[in-house]
Amino acid sequence: MKGRIFLLVFSLPFLGVGLWMLWSVGSNLHDAWRMQDWVPADARLQRAGYETHEGDDSDTYLAFALYDYSFAGQHYSGDRVGIAAGADNVGDYQRDTGRRLQQAWSQGVAITVHVNPSRPAESVIDRNLRWGLVGFKSIFLLVFGGAGAGMLAYSLLASRPRDSDAPGYEEKPWLLNDAWQSESVFSNSKKSVYVAWGFAVFWNAISAPLPFVAYREIVEKQNFVVLIGLLFPTIGLVLIGWAIRQTQEWGRLGPAPVVLDPFPGSIGGHVGGTVDLRLPFDPNRNFSLTLTNLRSYLSGSGKNRSRREKALWQDARTAHAEPSARGTRLSFRFEPPTGLNPSDAQRDSNDYFVWRLNMHADMPGADIDRDYDIPVYATGAQSRRLPARVVDAARLRQEQLDDAAVERRLRSTDSYAGKEVYFPMGRNSAGALAALLFGGVFAAAGWFLATSEGQSVFGGVFVAVGAMVMLAGLYGMLNSLRVTAGPIEITSERRVLAIPVRRRRIRRDEFAGFRYSSSKRTQSGSRHVVHYTIFADDRHGNSIVLGEDFAGSSQARAAIRWLAREFGLEQRLSRGGEDETGTGSDAADETDVLAADR
């Protein structure tokens, strides 16, 4: 209880900073929008310049001016220089503006001010919005405000932690989690709807005035740099679409809990169960279930800490669907190997493990996409209520889908050297283009900050990060892989722009088996996909790449079956052949045959 009170009190300063920045950014955007209708007038400066405010870490500057002007036959005085009030050191705006005004004052030159025609006593010298300052404040708004709101919500809504030393919890640690008191486990979809709408409303409330400000800047001043600012309302529209789809998905299925059999799921045993959906049964519709063992941890230090997730193990199954009283019943079963980490019932530490079951199906309108964080422990228990016919049918269907996916992707050709399989340039075009776009936006933003806002260090970091992401995207787009299985040896050759950069080979008579290992992980929201690379190992510890970027371990096993058949190799796994986490654990010995896998 004390920890919750401390977190509540600790969240208030962060939330206060976020709300203050929200008011500051919002008022600046509102002022910039309404000032577009103010009319120009000549003014005479009474004094002008800039002040230097010394601080412990850095100095800040404030341009000031006092001026007189006439409007509609009345005499007025004003002292507002720009839209934003207060001193800052974001770029050279304050000093440059102060010097310009001071020079006009010393020379007795008239300046132009903009006057509110409905309230002539209100005026401003520069009504242009400082995008660099808005971006700087927005960082504080999102980081501090988001952290404060998150800590406040957690302190008020999170369930009270149980005493892990109390009797009964040592043998059944999953009961420490309020959501795991029975075999029915609910998804986080309802909470996701609230989060999606809250974030969408929050984002759009900030960015709504930007299109109006940008329109005036472009039409009247030909200031096309402000087009960068239109990214914010564009993202806002995407967020609204995301919130609508989340709402549609929830309304289509309702709670739809997964009923585990056994409860809890078992490492080294079975993770299985059923899900009842209020959908009419359709024998042609596939429901894909993905089980992932994740590590959730805090990355970075100080103010830059953020929570990340890393997929450690993953497998996919196509659920067996059949009619039920509610509409459609899905049945599934996984067999996770031993040695994986169990679920953490209480996530009160910086580093904990999660078992996540994702259910996905392509549907007209909003797709089904649900996540269930389920309890999985090393109990060795097996399913009791799932019929063998259901499990076998689901396994066969998954193998058929994986084999079909591999057949669509891989092609073998006959050459003078033997059988060839070619992975061409551009095969990862979607991910590569995303990396190029993301890196390009980062680099462009950094260039703008460095050249237009005077933020050379901050902008340089953006440019460097963007350039590295773009290089990674170019490599993903331009590299190719050619695998040749001849009568004596098997060769793997990597090229970039058709230029060989690596060539490796193993002899057929020394082939020890296949091995597949996780090579990269992609994430979209809470969904993770573990991508696998397939190797051929020889008896001397050498290995060559035979294929890559297969989504999920079941597809990797299907690719091994295909490669073994095409290359005339035995379908067996070498020692450590199921290195799904990239750790090199001995999941299978040299006599294990892939056909008997799971």
Mean pLDDT for each consecutive 10-residue tract of the chain (598 residues)?
63 80 88 91 94 83 94 93 89 90 93 94 92 77 74 64 59 88 87 79 72 68 68 83 82 86 94 91 89 84 70 87 89 91 82 91 81 93 89 86 89 88 85 84 82 76 87 88 93 91 92 86 70 91 91 88 92 66 35 36
Cβ atoms within 10 Å of 139's Cβ, excluding its own: 10
Which DSSP string corresponds to 517-563? Answer: EEEEEEEETTEEEEEEEEEEEETTS-EEEEEEEEESHHHHHHHHHHH
pLDDT at 348: 67
Nearest by Cα to 261 from 333, 323, 178: 333
pLDDT at 90: 82
All structural domains of the chain, each given as residue ranges with its CATH number in brackets, are 2-132 (no CATH), 183-388 (2.60.40.640), 418-596 (no CATH)
pLDDT at 595: 36
pLDDT at 508: 93
Q: Give all strands (DSSP E) within 72-108, no chain letters.
A: 74-78
pLDDT at 49: 94
pLDDT at 6: 66
Query: Over the stretch 412-432, which tens digit does the pLDDT of each residue have?
Result: 898 888 899 999 888 877 778
pLDDT at 579: 52
pLDDT at 401: 87
CA 485, 486, 491, 492 dihedral sign is negative
What type of residue sits at position 66?
L
pLDDT at 40: 94
Tokens of 517: 């290992």
**Alpha carbon distance, N-terminus to C-terminus of the chain:** 46
Give this prediction's pTM. Answer: 0.58
